[in-house]
Amino acid sequence: MAQGSDKDDRTRIILAHGGGGELTRRLLSDRIIPKLANDLLSPLADSAVIDPQPGKLCMTTDSYVVQPLEFSGGDIGRLAVCGTVNDLAVMGAKPIALSLAMVLEEGLDMAVLDRIVDSIAASARQAGVPVATGDTKVVERGGVGGGMTITTAGLGSLPPGMPPDPQTIAAGDAILVSGPIADHGLAVMAARKGLGIRSTLASDVAPLAGLVAALLNSGDGVKFMRDPTRGGLAGLLADLSEQLGRNIEIRERNVPLTPAARHAAELLGLDPLAVANEGKVVAVVAADAAEKVLAACRAHPLGAGAAIVGHIGETADWPLVELVTAAGGKRIVQRPYGEELPRIC
C-alpha cells in the first residue's frame, strides 16, 4: 500500500499514523504524550495503574473502527469488549467495569445494531464484567464510514501481590505465544475482500482473563504479558526489544500458524507476524519455568495451541528482533512502518 511522502506525514495525518507502527509511535511520543505527561500516563503500558484508594486500579480505553462490522468469528461489539478487558487482563487486573460509547451512522440497519448490542452483552457476560456506563451519538450519513465506531474504557483492580515485572527479564527467558497467530486480521480482510476462505478462517477474538489467570497461577515465572493486537507479534516484539534494550530471537518454525491463515496471508500478500490478533497473549517467562507455564497455557481451552517461539537475547545499543527462518536463514523483524491493514480493529 502506498505510503505518504516523508513531508506529508509531518504536516498531515496519514493512514500510516494509525497503524500501530513506527509512525504511530512517533506521533504519540512526539506530539501527544509529552503534552499530557503525568505520573499515571505511561507510554509503556496499555493500561493505567491508578492508586487513589487502598488497592490499585487499572483503567484502559480503545476505539474500534473495524470494517466490516461483522466477520467470521466475531463483530465490532465483541471486539470492543474483549479488546479492552484483554488490555486489563495482561496487566494482571480483574475487570471491574466497562464503559461503552457508540457513534452510529444515520442509515445503520437496526438489525445490525441489535446483533452487535447482543454480542456486546454476551461478550461482557463471558468476560464477567458489567457495562457500567455509556453514551450513544448519531452522525449524518457518511459521518462515520461503515456504520458505527465503538469506544470502550475498562476499569480493573489489581490483586495484592506482585504483578509480572518486566524489570526482571534476563537473557535466555522464553517467549511464549498462546496459540496460532494472525487469525483475526486475516479473517477481517477475508470478509472485506469477499475471499472464499471465510469458512475455514475465523477471528480469534476472545476474553483472555481466564487464560492469563492460568498463566499467573502456574508459578512466578511470568515476567511480562501483552496481547499482540495492532502491529501483531512483530510490533509487540519490536516494542519489547526497544524497551528492554535487548535483542530477541524467534524461530519461524515454532510460531503457530494454521494452514488456513498461512494460505490467506499468501493470497493477501501479508506477513502473518505483523497481522493483528484479538485472543492471544504473548508472555516472557523465566527460562526454568518455561515448560511449566507452557503446560498450564496448553491446559486452558484458549491456550491449547501455545508454543515457545523464541527467547530474550543480550543487551544491545541497537536491539533487534531476529527471525530464524524455516530454511535456516535470518531476517530482521521490524515493527510495521504504517497502516497495512486499516480498520482491522
Estimate to the nearest angstrom the gap between the alpha carbon of 273 and the chain centroid.
Answer: 12
Q: Which is nearer to a second copy, 153 or 320 (CB)?
A: 153
Rounded least distance, CB 224 to a second copy, Å: 18
Q: What is the dihedral of CA 175, 180, 182, 186, to 10 degrees?
A: 180
For residues 117-137, one letter each, b for 16 or more C-beta atoms within 10 angstroms of the residue's C-beta and e for the rest, the string is: eebbeebbebbebebeeeeee
How many C-beta atoms lie closer than 10 Å to residue 314's C-beta?
A: 11
Q: How far is the CB of 52 from a second copy (least distance, A)?
A: 5
Cα–Cα distances in Å, from 142 out to 15, 75, 139, 148, 161? 18, 20, 8, 10, 49
Instruction: Kindly tell me which of 111 and 162 has the beta carbon lying closer to a second copy.
Output: 111
99/200 with CB nearer a second copy: 99
Least separation in angstroms between CB 311 and a second copy: 30
DSSP letters, 249-299, are EEEGGGS---HHHHHHHHHHT--GGGS--SS--EEEE-GGGHHHHHHHHHT
**Cβ of residue 304: shortest distance to a second copy, in angstroms?**
30
Sequence-separated (6 or more) residues with CB below 8 Å from residue 145: 67, 105
Residues in the chain: 345
**Complex with a second copy: residue 226 or 343, whichever CB lies closer:** 343
Q: Which is nearer to a second copy, 8 or 291 (CB)?
A: 8
Residue 97: alpha-carbon gap to chain centroid: 20
Cα–Cα distance for residue pair 258/327, rounded to 1 Å: 19
Minimum CB distance to a second copy, residue 294 (Å): 31
Residue among 113 and 320 whose Cβ is closer to a second copy: 113
Instruction: Give the residue with the Cβ less far from a second copy, 36 or 327.
Output: 36
Reported as half-sphere exposure (CB side, CA atoms, 13 A), residue 258 has a value of: 19
- The number of angstroms, rounded, from the C-alpha of 317 to the middle of its chain's C-alpha atoms is 27
CA 292-294-298 angle, 5° bins = 120
* Smallest distance, a second copy to C-beta of residue 105, A: 7
- Which residue number, 113 or 324, has a Cβ lying nearer to a second copy? 113
Q: Do residues 125 and 157 make contact, with C-beta atoms less than 8 angstroms apart? A: no
CB of residue 248 vs a second copy: minimum separation in angstroms? Answer: 25
State the minimum distance, in angstroms, from the CB of residue 85 to a second copy.
14
